[in-house]
């Protein structure tokens, strides 16, 4: 079964898309063609979107699902005239909140993802810069400023996890790849020992690691299953020996990995 879903906003569309994606994920037997349409901030743009929605309805033979966070009432009215089923996110949640709080919403465009909150925006950007500057063990003398240091074998997901935590949570995360030389010494690298309380390990199934490495260096010793199996076994043994918490990243998304790490480490997000 196929349905079309539109995420429509007069701002970035991030809120409509995030909530809509979460809801649609619960319907595993339906294939959704997902279309994000941000900055629908004029009636002319709204009419153009209505034409797209109506074409999708005709092609699918059923109503597209519309998740919207459009604030402007005139623009919303145009969209309601389409042949789609609308899920009005703001109306669904803001009206009950207004009643409970005894206050009216500002109904302002882009409040969630603007730079009006300069401190929060600065935290996010600073955290991203920190993750990039302290990626892959290139620099270790700023580890005293890190909230967290991810350790693990090469290509197990450390960098994307650090960048996600920086962008989403404002967490200053560094990462350090454990090399074959580190494993031969059977101990933590000297640069990590003073920061052991900040360390969290990532591991991965050897066959998955081999597949990832083969995309980068095909048919190399680095990508061979035997090498990947050796590195994973040695690193996991080191984690256990040193008492470093760790998770296997094989079957988890970056979002899930990040959330599990923060819970395990008891780290509060900087972006509230």
Task: Count the neighbouring beta carbons within 10 Å of the beta carbon of residue 169.
Answer: 22
Domain's final residue, options 101, 128, 155: 101
CATH code of 173's domain: 3.40.50
Cβ density class 24-52: b for 16+ within 10 Å, e for less: beeeeeeebeebbbbebbeeebbeebbeb
Helix (H, G, I), strand (E, B) or coil at 60: helix
Asked if 187 and 81 sit in the same domain, the reply is no
Q: Is 137 annotated as a binding residue?
A: no
Q: Is 162 annotated as a binding residue?
A: no
CA distance 224 to 231: 11
CA distance readout (Å), 26 to 4, 19, 31, 100, 146: 15, 12, 11, 29, 36
Q: Is 157 annotated as a binding residue?
A: yes
The structure's pTM equals: 0.74
Asked if 159 and 259 sit in the same domain, the reply is yes
Asked if 36 and 135 sit in the same domain, the reply is no
Asked if 48 and 76 sit in the same domain, the reply is yes
Give the tens place of pLDDT for each residue, 167-219.
Answer: 889 999 999 999 877 777 778 899 999 999 999 999 999 999 999 999 999 99
pLDDT of residue 109: 53
Q: For residue 40, what are the domain limits? A: 2-101
Asked if 89 and 154 sit in the same domain, the reply is no
Q: Is 266 annotated as a binding residue?
A: no
Per-residue pLDDT of the chain (272 residues; tens, 9 = 90+): 789 999 999 988 888 998 999 999 999 999 999 999 999 999 999 999 999 999 999 999 999 999 999 988 899 999 999 999 999 887 787 778 888 998 887 666 555 555 555 677 888 889 999 999 999 887 898 999 999 999 999 999 999 999 999 988 999 999 999 987 777 777 889 999 999 999 999 999 999 999 999 999 999 999 999 999 999 999 999 999 999 999 999 999 999 999 999 999 999 988 76
Residue 106 lies in a domain: no
Question: How many CA within 13 A on the CB side of residue 243?
Answer: 4
Q: Is 159 annotated as a binding residue?
A: yes
pLDDT of residue 110: 53
Q: Is 62 annotated as a binding residue?
A: no
**CA-based Rg of the chain, rounded to a whole angstrom?**
23
Q: Is 158 annotated as a binding residue?
A: yes
- Whether the CB-CB separation of 172 and 166 falls below 8 Å is answered with yes
Q: Is 263 annotated as a binding residue?
A: no
Asked if 8 and 79 sit in the same domain, the reply is yes
Give the tens place of pLDDT for each residue, 4-20.
Answer: 999 999 988 888 998 99
Asked if 156 and 96 sit in the same domain, the reply is no
CA distance 34 to 64: 10
Asked if 86 and 146 sit in the same domain, the reply is no
Residue 88: in which H helix or E strand, if any? strand 85-88
């Amino acid at each position: 079964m196929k349905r079309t879903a539109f995420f429509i906003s007069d701002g970035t569309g991030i809120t409509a898309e995030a909530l809509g994606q979460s809801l649609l994920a619960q319907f595993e037997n339906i294939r959704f063609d997902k279309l994000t349409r941000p900055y629908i901030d004029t009636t002319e743009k709204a009419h153009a979107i209505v034409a797209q929605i109506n074409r999708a309805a005709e092609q699918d033979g059923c109503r597209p699902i519309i998740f919207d966070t459009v604030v402007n009432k005139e623009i919303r009215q145009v969209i309601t005239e389409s042949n789609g089923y609308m899920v009005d996110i703001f109306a669904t949640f803001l009206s009950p909140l207004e009643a409970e709080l005894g206050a009216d919403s500002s109904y302002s465009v882009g409040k969630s993802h603007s730079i009006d909150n300069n401190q929060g925006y600065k935290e996010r950007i600073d955290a991203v810069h920190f993750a990039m500057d302290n990626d892959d063990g290139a620099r270790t003398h700023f580890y005293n400023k890190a909230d967290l240091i991810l350790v693990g074998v090469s290509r197990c997901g450390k960098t994307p996890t650090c960048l996600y935590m920086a962008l989403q949570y404002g967490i200053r995360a560094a990462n350090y790849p454990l090399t074959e030389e580190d494993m031969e010494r059977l101990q933590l690298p000297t640069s990590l020992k003073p920061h052991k309380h900040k360390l969290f390990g990532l591991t991965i199934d050897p066959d998955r690691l081999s597949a990832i490495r083969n995309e980068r260096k095909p048919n190399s010793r680095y990508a061979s299953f035997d090498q990947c199996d050796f590195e994973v076994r040695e690193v996991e043994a080191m984690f256990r020996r040193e008492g470093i918490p760790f998770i296997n990243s094989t079957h988890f998304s970056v979002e899930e990995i990040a959330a599990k790490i923060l819970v395990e480490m008891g780290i509060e997000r900087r972006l509230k």
